[in-house]
Amino acid sequence: MEKFLIAGLGNIGFEYENTHHNAGFMVLDEFARLNVAPFEDKRYGSIAKTSLKGRQIFLLKPSTFMNLSGMAVRYWMNKENIPIEHLLVIVDDFAIPFGSLRLRGKGSAGGHNGLKNITENLGTEQYARLRFGTGNNFAKGHQIDFVLSKFDDESMQKMPDLEYSCGEIIKSFCLAGLEITMNQFNHKK
């Protein structure tokens, strides 16, 4: 059975719930709920398992905090013997507008400390990442305040549709592969 690791990035703790930086956690929480896959606290994070047409999917919410996400990703890839082509990282990105979803097969961290740490731990930038656009509604120099602030009410109303779209991307990534999924979903708003 082919195995996949879907890592949603965020920070653990009540104070970080529904913050821009926790978009990855929010996406995985909804995907796990829809697939009746409860999370269990395990080493370096919370893990949920589900399957889809003969593929085993591990959902990971690292407990290492954002800046050390790579430790958790590397541990679970090694533990479950998951190839790098079967890794998808879901991450917030304030460089793209709120509601935009961009799937890439590689790339730089773009200043994102979670991606930077994953790249350091894996020794490569050649892994898929789904960037969840949060927009950049902050004054110059206040990006940390922004990423750690909560989504506003208007954004929260749109989250279920966005989380559902991310779930469709996850399923397509696992079933059809990266290239087909990018072609199908990257043009959509």
| pLDDT score recorded for residue 187 | 67
CB 94 within 8 Å of CB 136? yes
**Domain range for residue 52?**
2-185
pLDDT one digit per residue (tens) for the chain, 189 residues: 899 999 999 999 999 999 989 999 999 999 999 999 999 999 999 999 999 999 999 999 999 989 999 999 999 999 999 999 999 999 999 889 999 999 999 988 888 999 999 999 999 999 999 999 998 777 677 677 787 889 999 999 999 999 999 999 999 999 999 999 999 998 655
Choice among 20, 21, 86, 112 that is catalytic: 21
The answer to whether 21 is a known catalytic residue is yes
| pLDDT score recorded for residue 2 | 96
HEC readout, the chain? CEEEEEEECCCCCHHHCCEHHHHHHHHHHHHHHHCCCCCEEECCEEEEEEEECCEEEEEEEECCCHHHHHHHHHHHHHHHCCCHHHEEEEEEECCCCCCCEEEECCCCCCCCHHHHHHHHHHCCCCCEEEEEECCCCCCCCCHHHHHCCECCHHHHHHHHHHHHHHHHHHHHHHHHCHHHHHHHHCCCC
CATH number for the domain that contains residue 67: 3.40.50.1470
**Tally of domains within the chain:** 1
